[in-house]
Amino acid sequence: MSVTPEVVSQVAALARLDMTDADLPAVTERFARVLDMVASLHTIPTDGVMPMSNPHDMVQRLRDDIVTETDQRETLLAVAPQSEAGYFLVPKVID
């Protein structure tokens, strides 16, 4: 197998996903199957090939530096799970 349960655990932590000990073996097995499949890429010679991130090789377009957006605070806070006094509410992060 190309990947160990420890690696999957570590990746889950990076992705902010819970990974229980009970789920880990099955998740690792399927993860490894996908990884083994995509590893076939390594047989394709790509020396000197420039990576392609956009199908038309478009570059970032710039626009004039003028304010175009209006204040959306109330609208956006209205769809938040919890908010208070005009802010998103999260658990206490500083003691």
Partner 1 sequence: MMQNVIGASAKTLLSLLDRGEISAVELVTEHLQHIRRHNSVLNAVTEILDESALAAARAADAQRASGEHKPLAGLPLLHKDNFCTRNITTSCASKMLADFKPPYDATVVSHLHTAGTVTLGKCNMDEFAMGSSTESSFYGPCKNPWDVTRVPGGSSGGSAAAVAAGFAPWATGTDTGGSIRQPASLCGVTGLKPTYGRVSRYGIVAFASSLDQAGPIARSVEDCAMMLNHIAGEDPLDATTAAIDCPDFTHGLSDDINGLRIGLPRQYFGSHLDPAVAVLVHAAIAELEAAGAILVDIDLPLTHDAIATYYVIAPAEASANLARYDGVRFGHRCADPADLQDLYQRSRSEGFGEEVQRRILVGTYALSAGSYEAYFKKAQQVRRLIRADFDRAFESIDLIAGPAAPSVAFTLGAKNQDPLTMYMEDVFTLSVNLAGLPGLSLPAGFTEKLPVGLQLIGRAFDEATVLRAGHRYQMMTDWHQHRAPMISGVSS
Q: Which residues bind partner 1 (CB under 8 A)?
A: 3, 7-8, 11-12, 14-18, 27, 30-31, 33-35, 37-42, 44, 46, 49-56, 58, 60-61, 63, 72, 75-76, 78-82, 88, 90-93
Task: Pick between residue 65 and residue 82 the one whose CB is nearest to partner 1.
Answer: 82
- What minimum distance in Å lies between the beta carbon of 36 and partner 1? 9
Say if CB 32 and CB 2 are below 8 A apart.
Answer: yes
Q: Please tell me what DSSP assigns to residue 16.
A: T
- What minimum distance in Å lies between the beta carbon of 41 and partner 1? 5
Spatial distance between the Cα atoms of 3 and 22, rounded to a whole number of angstroms: 17
Closest CA to 5 of 30, 24, 26, 18: 24
- What minimum distance in Å lies between the beta carbon of 35 and partner 1? 7
By three-state DSSP, how is residue 15 classified? coil
